[in-house]
């Protein structure tokens, strides 16, 4: 492999950060405050608050409410530059971009996150989009709303019921939150806006291959969530692996189910970043790092968030990535300034939570748990606090307050570019 030289590089920086998610942004801001020469590379021009994507998909929020241009967030830091590009490889002390450009680094931070896994059935993605991007959230919203529009005009009772059936695959926090939100949205729209539809014709299926939903929470919180979802009209299918997905249909435990919309929330996989380092088989696709987030065997490269595998496994939560990003930024500042850096990252668990529906949520703090309206309010407070700036915090808080009072959904827009009617054979 040819050795990189400065002349062969298209750009370089003392610190290059790949990925501007929770961890990447926190790290960049810490470096920016210290005046460290930093380059942030991301294939999107915006930071996305993924935990609230399901609210975009169910018309509770608009895309701009949970997304912020990266340049706007980091523009105040004169030492931080932003590059819109996709990284495809790492060669010696340079990252290689998809167009062949090379960017040299003194220190590299990999914060590329994760994606959904379809367990070897990548062709299912087209029919069952997940919730990892604005494009996917808008596609789900489009299909949900178009299914109701189509059901309003059909004269076939069987087809109407199929169009009003929404299947969510995966009973983790995203699936649970999505199921509750779809049930609430459907009841609201049928009672207020769709004269030819009946609430009794609507079905929301939450399909989980394991023995219970919210498997990462204590059993009592799982039971509480299941009870509240069933009261909201959600049908929970346990020990029910999905065997096939096609347009307008999925097969669960050998039984075909006709549906108007399918949403995928089952399992995640790391980004392909491990392959850039020749570590595809390591830690199930994650990059092995030490307690200081340094990649094993590459002390000039760091990894964090969902793409990293620490000696002590950590949950794939926003708070983990944010804490790692803040800590790593401080460590890099110390290293570059010649100060002794902290060598061990310690995660401080602020609790794990999932929202089930109006006035209902679960919160697990480890030694104690919380359910009901107080957990719901705390869920809302935490998610507002995690948003990237004051403008977004205020905007979302005001909209949630208005929605709580009026029960209205203000973002029920069907885009004109592809208003496809769901296919039900």
CATH number, domain with residue 233: 3.50.50.100
pLDDT of residue 288: 94
One digit per residue, pLDDT tens: the chain, 425 residues?
334 444 479 999 999 999 999 999 999 999 999 999 999 999 999 999 999 999 999 999 999 999 999 999 999 999 999 999 999 999 999 999 999 999 999 999 999 999 999 999 999 999 999 999 999 999 999 999 999 999 999 999 999 999 999 999 999 999 999 999 999 999 999 998 999 999 999 999 999 999 999 999 999 999 999 999 999 999 999 999 999 999 999 999 899 999 999 999 998 888 999 999 988 666 678 999 999 999 999 999 999 999 999 999 898 889 999 999 999 999 999 999 999 888 899 999 989 999 999 999 999 998 899 999 999 999 999 999 888 888 899 989 998 998 888 877 767 878 776 656 566 66
Q: Which of residues 290, 306, 336 is at a domain's end?
A: 336
Residue 91 domain-assigned?
yes
The CA distance from 368 to 351, in Å, is 10
371-to-182, 315, 342, 356, 368 alpha-carbon distances in Å:
21, 21, 37, 10, 11
Residues 261 and 280 in one domain: no
Please list the residues that pair with 330 across neighbouring strands.
none
The reply to whether 274 and 143 lie within a common domain is no
Looking at the structure, tell me whether residues 141 and 99 fall in a common domain.
no
Q: Report if residue 92 sits inside a domain.
A: yes
* Judgement on whether residues 86 and 152 belong to the same structural domain of the protein: no
Count of domains observed in the chain: 2
CATH classification at residue 67: 3.50.50.60
- How much is the pLDDT for 30? 98
Check whether residue 153 and residue 262 sit in a common domain. Answer: yes
Domain residues for the domain of 210 are: 122-266
SS3 of residue 245 by DSSP: strand
Q: What angle do CA 22, 25, 29 make, to 5 degrees?
A: 140
Can you spell out the DSSP letters for 263-310?
EE-S-EEE-THHHHTT-TTGGGGPEEB-TTSEETTEEEEEE-GGGEE-
User: Do 1 and 102 touch, CB atoms closer than 8 A?
Assistant: no
Give the residue from 271, 351, 352, 265 showing the smallest Cα distance to 309: 271
**Per the domain annotation, does 418 fall within a domain?**
no
* Statement to judge: residues 88 and 216 lie in one domain: no
Q: Are residues 147 and 229 in the same domain?
A: yes
Token pair of 184, please?
């609430």
Predicted local confidence at residue 1, as pLDDT:
35
Last residue of a domain, one of 206, 234, 266: 266
Whether residues 241 and 129 share a domain: the answer is yes
Is residue 343 in a domain? no
CA–CA distance, 149 with 317 (Å, rounded to integer): 36
> Is 243 part of a structural domain of the chain?
yes
Report d(CA 19, CA 271) in Å as an integer. 11
According to the model, what pLDDT value does residue 2 have? 39
127 and 104 within one domain: no
Whether 90 and 169 share a structural domain: no
> In this predicted structure, what is the pLDDT of residue 342?
84
Which amino acids are annotated catalytic?
Answer: 177
| CA proximity to 322, closest of 274, 263, 385 | 385
The answer to whether position 11 is within a domain reads: yes
Q: Is 135 a domain residue?
A: yes
pTM score, two decimals? 0.91
Last residue of a domain, one of 247, 266, 285: 266
Same-domain pairing of 141 and 236: yes
Looking at the structure, tell me whether residues 258 and 245 fall in a common domain. Answer: yes
């Amino acid at each position: 492999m040819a050795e990189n030289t400065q002349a062969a590089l298209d750009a370089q920086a003392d610190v290059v950060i790949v990925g501007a998610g929770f961890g990447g942004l926190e790290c960049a801001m810490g470096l920016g405050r210290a005046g460290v020469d930093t380059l942030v590379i991301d294939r999107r021009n915006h930071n996305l608050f993924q935990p609230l994507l399901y609210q975009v998909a169910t018309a509770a929020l608009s895309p701009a409410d949970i997304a912020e241009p990266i340049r706007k967030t980091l523009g105040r830091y004169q030492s931080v530059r932003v590059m819109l590009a996709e990284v495809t490889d790492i060669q010696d002390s340079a990252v290689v971009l998809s167009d062949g450009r090379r960017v040299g680094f003194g220190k590299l931070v990999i914060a590329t996150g994760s994606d959904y896994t379809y367990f070897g059935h990548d062709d299912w993605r087209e029919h069952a989009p997940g919730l990892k991007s604005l494009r996917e959230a808008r596609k789900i919203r489009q299909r949900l709303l178009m299914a109701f529009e189509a059901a309003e005009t059909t004269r076939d009772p069987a087809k109407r019921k199929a169009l009003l059936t929404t299947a969510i695959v995966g009973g983790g926090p995203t699936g649970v939150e999505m199921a509750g939100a779809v049930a609430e949205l459907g009841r609201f729209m049928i009672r207020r806006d769709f004269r030819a539809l009946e609430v009794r014709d609507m079905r929301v299926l939450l399909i989980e291959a394991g023995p219970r939903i919210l498997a990462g929470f204590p059993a009592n919180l799982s039971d509480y969530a299941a009870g509240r979802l069933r009261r909201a009209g959600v049908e929970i299918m346990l020990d029910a692996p999905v065997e096939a997905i096609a347009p307008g249909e999925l097969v669960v435990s050998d039984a075909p189910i006709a549906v108007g919309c399918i949403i995928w929330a089952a399992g995640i996989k790391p980004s392909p970043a491990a392959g850039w380092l020749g570590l595809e088989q390591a830690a199930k696709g994650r990059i092995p790092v030490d307690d200081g987030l340094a990649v094993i065997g590459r002390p000039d490269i760091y990894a964090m968030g969902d793409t990293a595998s620490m000696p002590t496994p950590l949950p794939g939560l926003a708070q983990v990535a944010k804490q790692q990003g803040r800590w790593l930024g401080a460590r890099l500042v110390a290293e570059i300034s010649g100060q002794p850096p902290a060598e061990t990252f310690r995660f401080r668990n602020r609790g794990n939570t999932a929202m089930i529906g109006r006035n209902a949520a679960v919160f697990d703090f480890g030694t104690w748990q919380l359910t009901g309206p107080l957990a719901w309010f705390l869920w809302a407070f935490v998610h507002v606090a995690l948003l990237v700036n004051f403008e977004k915090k205020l905007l979302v808080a005001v909209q949630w307050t208005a929605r709580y009072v009026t029960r209205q959904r203000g973002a029920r827009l069907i885009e004109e570019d592809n208003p496809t009617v769901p296919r039900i054979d």
